[in-house]
Homo-oligomer: A and B are copies of this chain.
């Protein structure tokens, strides 16, 4: 170890080295795929992320509904890339980019120089100008938020169990999910399943009939990115498992314990946000104008216009398909783009000519709706129901890169499927932003809404 590490230190050292340096900002699916493509090559790679892990976001809703643990769906970036000795990982928050001098900037440390830069900084939930709603209605973008949602849901049930007043009890047992895309649909099905099971098996005073799950969508149908047939299937299925689907309803305001629509005000115990995303602030770093969702426009080679040494991929990039339609903000796109850019940079460094256009290969779009129910859209054909669910489960277990996790998640799913149990029903966090006197004060449970700003 001591022998190689001297070499490594030099290789990763200050900029002036002979080998070109590629800096990748963001260690998600796109950034990791790109880094992986550069592993073992004659190039220094620095991967910068403000989190130490890549998150398997498609399963984050299972953390929020207590089926999986955070570590089941998160992989340390160092672990994913550890085998490539030419890759250095830095946990740091980027504050800007000096494209003139080819440097990535940080608020708290020295800049890092690059020869090629790959921006893969992803997206965040879009609260459409109401960022204060975030405190009350967390989205599903990070482990911390998923844990917070889990805690809000479980705490609301606990609170209801202690209420004599029927109205307060019903309010606490009402969950509002905003946004009828895949996240909202997945959450609605899972919350309904979790709640009904827990109440009938483990609670004494509250009753399954006192529970409500509302799924609110501003547009005319759920799963707008899917064919209408699958939207209808999702709506029907959710109705059967007790979810009230409210399409064409717009949220006017969100406060602790209440969501206001044009038609009515809903008192509730927990709110979940899944109503749209916006890109990371990468466009601002470059002083460029993003589109309305903040995405960086890129050429068909995924280069940022005017900056041939900068590539942008994944949710933060506005790339278009052959028909000129924007590519969707999903992991498949990010991953394929990362692989493509990794290959292009290898060619550029080897002097094999300029970068080629990126072409997305659609592997199918999917959403899970509940136990035994999922939808698939493969373009040419569609799937729904039990077989789709089985396929969904198979693919997602397979996609969890890490072998150990594959085994763990498989076992937990099998076990949960057979027993209806949830393995990770832990309340261990004070509400976001609340200061605690001791490290373990539980959420205060004296109001219908357990969430505080």
* Residues of A near any B CB (own CB < 8 A): 1-2, 5, 8-9, 11-12, 50-53, 69-72, 74, 76, 78-79, 82, 85, 88-93, 108-109, 134, 138, 141-145, 147-148, 154-155, 158-159, 161-162, 198, 200-205, 207-209, 404-405, 407-408, 411-412, 415, 421, 423-429, 432-433, 435-436, 439-442, 444-446
Residues of B within 8 Å of A109, CB to CB, are 162, 446
The closest CB in chain B to the CB of A7 belongs to: B204
A425 touches B50 (CB 8 A): no
The closest CB in chain B to the CB of A78 belongs to: B202
Residues of B within 8 Å of A90, CB to CB, are 158, 161-162
B412 touches A142 (CB 8 A): no
**How far, in Å, is A47 (CB) from chain B's closest CB?**
11
- Could you say which of B51, B134, B148 contacts A442, with CB atoms under 8 Å apart? B51
Residues of B within 8 Å of A428, CB to CB, are 51, 53, 70, 74, 142-144, 147
- Could you say which of B91, B158, B405, B446 contacts A52, with CB atoms under 8 Å apart? B158
A144 touches B79 (CB 8 A): no
Contacts A53-B427, A408-B411 aside, 5 further interface pairs with beta carbons under 8 A come to A50-B442, A69-B69, A70-B428, A141-B439, A142-B440
Residues of B within 8 Å of A440, CB to CB, are 50-51, 141-142, 144-145
**How far, in Å, is A195 (CB) from chain B's closest CB?**
13
A82 touches B408 (CB 8 A): no
**How far, in Å, is A353 (CB) from chain B's closest CB?**
31
The closest CB in chain B to the CB of A424 belongs to: B71
A-B CB proximity, top 7 nearest: A71-B424, A108-B446, A91-B158, A78-B202, A82-B202, A69-B69, A143-B428
**How far, in Å, is A79 (CB) from chain B's closest CB?**
7
B12 touches A205 (CB 8 A): yes
A89–B204 Cα distance when bound, in Å, is 8
- Could you say which of B5, B82, B204, B436 contacts A8, with CB atoms under 8 Å apart? B204
A426 touches B76 (CB 8 A): yes
A421–B82 Cα distance when bound, in Å, is 12
Could you pull out 21 A-B pairs where Cβ atoms are within 8 angstroms?
A: A1-B200, A8-B205, A12-B204, A50-B442, A51-B428, A51-B442, A52-B426, A70-B428, A71-B424, A76-B425, A79-B202, A82-B201, A89-B202, A108-B444, A141-B439, A141-B440, A142-B440, A148-B439, A404-B411, A408-B408, A408-B411
